[in-house]
Amino acid sequence: VSPAFCRGIVKAMYHQIARNKRKSVVVVTAFFIIWAAIGYVVGYIASGVSGGISGIIIAAILALLVVLWSLTLGQATVLAVSGAQPVTQQQAPVLYDVVSTLAIGAGLPMPKVYIINDPSPNAFATGTSPQKAAITCTTGLLAIMNREELEGVLAHEMSHIRNYDVRLVLIVATSVALIGLLASLLWRSLFFTRGGNNRDSGYLIIVLIAAAALLSVVAVIVGPLMQFALSRSRESLADASSVELTRNPTGLLHALQKLQANDKPFVKMTHATAAMCIDDPLQHHGGFTHHLFDTHPPIEERIAALQAMLQVKQT
């Protein structure tokens, strides 16, 4: 890989870090605005303008709690939901050694290392900063990758940590997941809400339906669109940064070719967490509606870009 290519990647990386920090602020601000709008609509339905103002205040408090959850417990939540288990150097010496070597090469602290018992080959990084990051691989990935390919995959994930992609994606993913959970709880509460002839019971049901419907729209449509808006370019940059870090496009190229042939769905991944993975686990196994919200560029394009880098290296 030429020095000019490496300089270009480093320059793009610093631009991406600054852009991701700005986007984090924009995403959190947009999240508060959406919640405030939902609070106003629900409050207005309940008791007019005064109820709308009260709804904004309540919604702002809830939004603050959700963001605080994302920043403090979001990483632990994602790891727990995905079934990730921490491993030591003695338990996974090759994986641990590759992560340690890449961390030193990238000038980053050693992230925590986790493994998910799942036959689908995949990996992801999560955390709020390079100092509080984790890299996770599935047993399926470790089973099919040789050391060179594993190095390419883990360098890709290390690049996400270095570029602060992990914090941005974590905030959005955990926020969307919590909104979906809240919407589900509200819909379920309708089954336990007894309707009556009095006016108050009718208002309560209307308010619950309105709140559940608005939160469902955010969880199912707005949330995935926010993830999509984070830009697929971060995946392409992480691929290029992996090459810059390892000085070897072959490893990640062959790894992506193996991932392209994968026919095993990642059981515990959802749209909220799929954006974290090196290979979108829903992209190969979903229908048309899944592809509307793809967070990764087509894997064929990523392979073609790496092949072009390999040709440059060989000339």
Tell me the backbone φ, ψ of residue 138, rounded to 5 degrees. -90, 160
Question: Strand order of the sheet with strand 84-86?
Answer: 84-86, 112-116, 132-138, 123-129
| 137 contacts 124 by C-beta, under 8 angstroms | no
Question: Residue 279 is encoded by which pair of tokens?
Answer: 């290979």
Encode burial over 244-280: b for 16+ CB neighbours within 10 A, e otherwise.
bbbebbbbbbbbbebbeebeeebeebebbbbbbbbbb
Of these residues, 157, 235, 244, 300, which one is catalytic?
Answer: 157
Instruction: State the SS3 of 245-302.
Output: HHCCHHHHHHHHHHHHCCCCCCCCCCHHHHCCECCCCCCCCCCHHHHCCCCCCCHHHH
Could you give the CA distance from residue 234 to residue 54 in angstroms, rounded to a whole number? 39
Among 115, 125, 69, which residue's Cα sits nearest to residue 92? 115
Question: Residue 225 is encoded by which pair of tokens?
Answer: 């669109």
Could you give the CA distance from residue 277 to residue 292 in angstroms, rounded to a whole number? 17
Question: Residue 285 is encoded by which pair of tokens?
Answer: 């196994």
Is residue 157 part of the annotated active site? The answer reads: yes
Among 171, 241, 279, which residue's Cα sits nearest to residue 9? 241
| 149 contacts 255 by C-beta, under 8 angstroms | yes
3-class DSSP state of 50:
helix
Write the single-letter amino acid at 212. Answer: A
Ranges assigned E (strand) in 32-149: 84-86, 112-116, 123-129, 132-138
Could you give the CA distance from residue 127 to residue 74 in angstroms, rounded to a whole number? 8
Name the residues annotated as catalytic: 157
